[in-house]
Structure 1
Amino acid sequence: MPHEVHAVVAAEHGAPVELRTIVVPDPGPGDVLVAVRACGVCHTDLHYRDGAIGDAFPFLLGHEAAGVIEEVGPGVTGLAPGDFVVLAWRAPCGACRSCRRGRPWYCFDSVNAGRPMTLRDGTSRTASGGGTPLTPALGIGAFAEKTLVAAGQAVKVDPHARPEAAGLIGCGVMAGYGAAVHTGAVGSGDTVAVIGCGGVGSAAIAGASLAGARRVIAVDIDDRKLDGATRFGATHTVNSRGTDPVEAVRGLTGGHGADVVIDAVGRPETWTQGFFMRDLAGTLVQVGVPDPDMRVELPLIDLFSRGGALKSSWYGDCLPSRDFPVLIDRYLGGRLDLDGFVTETIALDEVESAFDKMRDGRVLRSVVVI
């Protein structure tokens, strides 16, 4: 029978989020019901709240989550009630042109749950027993006591991992780590510069360090974030508020620039800085998400003459079923400091205040604990 649970909902464009009662249906074919244990507050949730990702309100927010399988739907294999899982917003379909070409980390038709979660709002009822259908953030919707996802979105990991830390690999940590390790292909002896030292940028620093980078340069306008970046493996820091970051990075790399630059901010000015911060034939990876109206202009001769690669990193080019267990093992082995990303733990009704702290740069991650 359907489950009535508390959840955080963005009801309309720009309005404060609300704690509402929602209806979560039993899992259908290929779906699993997950009791959420913890869920990080990510910038993407704020983008949904503010209407920057679409207008399919109301949104059920939350997507950086870890929890325990409660029920599995017909046809589900490899998962069972009691399994500890991290939720992923990419569940390769196996049938799109990218999956057929052996590149499931680019899947263009990721699988989501087949049944909608709904508001208990007194409107006309759906087959699941609820009212207005909800749009779950990134197909997950985990600021809730329970959520319904496709089985491919639930990745089984070692249950000894702390849920508050484990859930963060579901989005921000994986995006940053993968931007360095997968998209940027950082290798032993490389020099790396990371612009923006929030959660994603700090994860990129950690990934570059684990990949064997000789020098990892953290760039930000906030000394607090730069101090934190050293915890994740930064060897040098540059405060770009009063310093030209391009010249500073060149000065730290023998005048050449970095082999790999990762823009974890996603603004025209940071992308342009990253472009010129590279060594000749270097790689620029954009993982920060820009607003739709942002533009970059460069002389075409600069694109040609500097060579190298300009890449966008979607979800760190990850394959969750492959990468999540590896990152959890590294965390449990003391090689990846996931606990360092958890600034505070909060309750479901504190998400709106967590957005304020995130805007002000006071946290790497606030994590909702259920």
Structure 2
Amino acid sequence: MTAAVMYEQGLPAPYAESKPFKIEEVELDGPGEGEVLVEIRGAGICHSDLSVVEGLRKRPLPIVGGHEGAGIVREIGRGVTGIAPDDHVAMALVAGCGKCRTCLVGRPGLCQAVSGARAEGSLSTGTRRLRLADGGRLNHYSGISVYAQYAVVAPQSLIKIDDEVPLDVAALFGCAVVTGAGAVFNSAKVRPGATVAVIGLGGVGLTAVMAAREAGASQIIGIDVLPGKFDLARAVGATKCVDARDALAVQQVRDLTHGGVDYAFEVSGNLAALDMAQAVTVRGGEVIGVGVGKTTAAFSVAQLPWVSEERVLRGSFMGGGVPQQDIPKYVDMYLQGRLPVDRLRSEHIGFDQLNEGFDLLHGGGVVRQILLPHGA
């Protein structure tokens, strides 16, 4: 099959020239026990993938990229239940073992057993089904590797979805939607009438805006360094937008909300944005960190106001919930027009445009490009 293989991280932009992804033919073994073969029909180009391209977070190499996708089940291995050939599925990298301490309390995203396997480039079953054309070792990315025509994955990574959802839209549910909406509904539990700021208006941030509207927030302020994103942010729920480059940006938010927002979502993974999130939050408010940056990045907290003003700093990884439960709910919201995530799609691309797509993402000119591994 055709796949996008990364042999080296940290290559310089423009990526259309340095080509971090090599498009080539690779080998894929069929599914073993407890595994599923999926034909990939759409894969999102996400900022998390860009951070891997940039080398901010290390991965075992070589590796087939991509962690946000959807497709059609083509074959199931022995022992797999609940999924059948021809099912349409969204693919989520959050898939716990179901047995450990964190899984048993409904937090599969924190499962150490699965995260350890993925850090080594294998599936959660402990196997590798990918091989280079010469038979050499080839790693799985986050247990999914959707920048390919097919993928073998563990069934815990698959969520059956309504066939009415176009598969290029379904791809968004595995990362952008489950992360952005989950941060609002699960991690923060935004209450009706609350005030919200979302810093970083990419796919995840815009989904958080939609979810905040659905949660009944009275004010939703979108913040970004690229004003070109503001029209879309307003269209999906932002009541006001603020240019993060403005020296008075923090004061604008505080003035609009009479002292600061109840919840500030930092979605970019930028430390300066995290400082801004703390600055725009009201006494007793919450900062929810959603974006991820360099592995070694650290930030500071002013200890006295953190305690005396009862501020909350909360991490939210992949929506802080259970994708198998959450994604069907978000799909229903989409089909009812309450979560218009199809607005996130920027364009469809082929393998030959993948590296250039990362240049566009790096420049901020797109929200979500969708790779179609089998063509239009």
For Structure 1 versus Structure 2, the TM-score category normalised by the shorter chain is: over 0.9
CA distance in 2, matches of 1:208, 1:109: 33
- Tell me, in whole angstroms, the C-alpha distance in 2 between the residues paired with 1:106 and 1:210: 27
Partner of 2:310: 307
TM-score, reference length from structure 1: 0.93
AA partner of residue 75 (structure 1): G
Which of residues 285, 294, 297 is equivalent to 1:294? 297
Out of 227, 233, 247, the position equivalent to 2:231 is 227
Q: In structure 1, which of residues 29, 32, 39 is the aligned counterpart of residue 36 of structure 2?
A: 32
1:174 paired to 2:148: no
Count of matched residue positions in the alignment of Structure 1 and Structure 2: 357
C-alpha distance in structure 2 between counterparts of 1:116 and 1:230, whole Å: 44
Amino acid at match of 1:244: L
User: In the alignment, is the contact (CA less than 8 A) between 1:13 and 1:49 conserved in 2?
Assistant: yes
Q: Is the 8 A contact 1:21 1:119 kept in 2?
A: no
Quote the residue 2:365 is aligned against: 362
TM-score by length of 2: 0.91
Structure-2 separation of matches of 1:233 and 1:33: 38
For residue 250 of structure 1, report the CA deviation from its aligned partner.
0.9
User: Is 1:348 the counterpart of 2:351 in the alignment?
Assistant: yes
Q: Structure 1 counterpart of 2:307, which letter?
A: F
| Paired residues of 1:112 and 1:153 also in contact (CA < 8 A) | no
After superposition, residues 105-254 of structure 1 pair within 5 angstroms as 105-110=109-114, 112-122=124-134, 131-254=135-258
User: Are residues 1:13 and 2:9 paired?
Assistant: yes
Partner residue in 2 for 1:327: 330
Shift in alpha-carbon separation, 1:351–1:249, aligned structure 2, 3 A: same
* Structure 2 letter corresponding to 1:351: L
Once the two structures are superposed, residues 316-352 of structure 1 have per-residue CA deviations (whole angstroms, 9 ceiling, x without a partner) of 1121110111111111111111111100000122110
**What is the letter of the counterpart of residue 53 of structure 1?**
R
For residues 200 and 70 of structure 1, the distance between their equivalents in structure 2, rounded to whole angstroms, comes to: 29
Q: Distance in 1 between matches of 2:302 and 2:217?
A: 31
| SS of 1:288 mapped into structure 2 | coil
Greater Cα offset, 102-111 or 174-183: 102-111
For residues 200 and 120 of structure 1, the distance between their equivalents in structure 2, rounded to whole angstroms, comes to 33
8 Å CA contact 1:166, 1:338 repeated in 2: no
- Residue identity over aligned pairs, in percent, reads 34
Query: For residues 58-110 of structure 1, what are the alpha-carbon distances to aligned partners after superposition, in whole Å with 9 as ceiling and x for unaligned?
Result: 11101211100000000000111000000011112111111234444543333
Runs ≥4 in structure 1, deviation > 4 angstroms?
none
- 2:58 is aligned with 1:54: yes
1:139 counterpart SS class: coil
| Structure 1 residue 201 displacement after superposition | 0.9
Partner of 1:128: none
Gaps of 5+ in 1: 123-130
Give the counterpart of 1:275 among 278, 282, 286. Answer: 278
Given that 1:25 and 1:115 are in contact with CA atoms closer than 8 Å, whether structure 2 keeps it comes out as no
Per the alignment, do residues 70 and 84 of structure 1 end up closer, same or farther by CA in structure 2, a change over 3 Å counting? Answer: same
Question: Tell me, what secondary structure is at the counterpart of 1:171?
Answer: helix
Letter in 2 for 1:334: G
Equivalent residue number for residue 120 of structure 2? none
1:309 Cα deviation from its structure 2 partner: 1.2
CA distance in 2 between partners of 1:298 and 1:99 (Å): 30
Checking the alignment, whether the CA contact within 8 Å between 2:3 and 2:148 is kept in structure 1 is yes
Hey, what's the Cα distance between the residues in 1 that align with 2:185 and 2:336? 19
Q: Secondary structure at the match of 2:142?
A: helix
Distance 1:368 1:113, change over 3 A: farther
The one-letter code matched in structure 2 to 1:134 is L
| Alpha-carbon offset, residue 293 of structure 1 | 3.4
Q: Any conservation in 2 of the 1:48–1:137 contact (CA below 8 Å)? A: no
Cα RMSD of the aligned pairs, angstroms, is 1.5
Distance 1:74 1:259 in 2: 49
Distance 2:106 2:324 in 1: 15
8 Å contact 1:42–1:365 — kept in the other structure?
Answer: yes
The answer (yes or no) to whether the contact 1:52–1:291 under 8 Å persists in 2 is yes
Please state if 1:91 is matched with 2:95. Answer: yes
| Alignment deviations for residues 122-164 of structure 1 (CA, whole Å, 9 cap, x no partner) | 2xxxxxxxx2222222111001110000011111010110111
Per the TM alignment, residue 297 of structure 1 is displaced from its structure 2 partner at its CA by 2.7
Matched residues in 1 for 2:48 and 2:106: separation?
A: 28
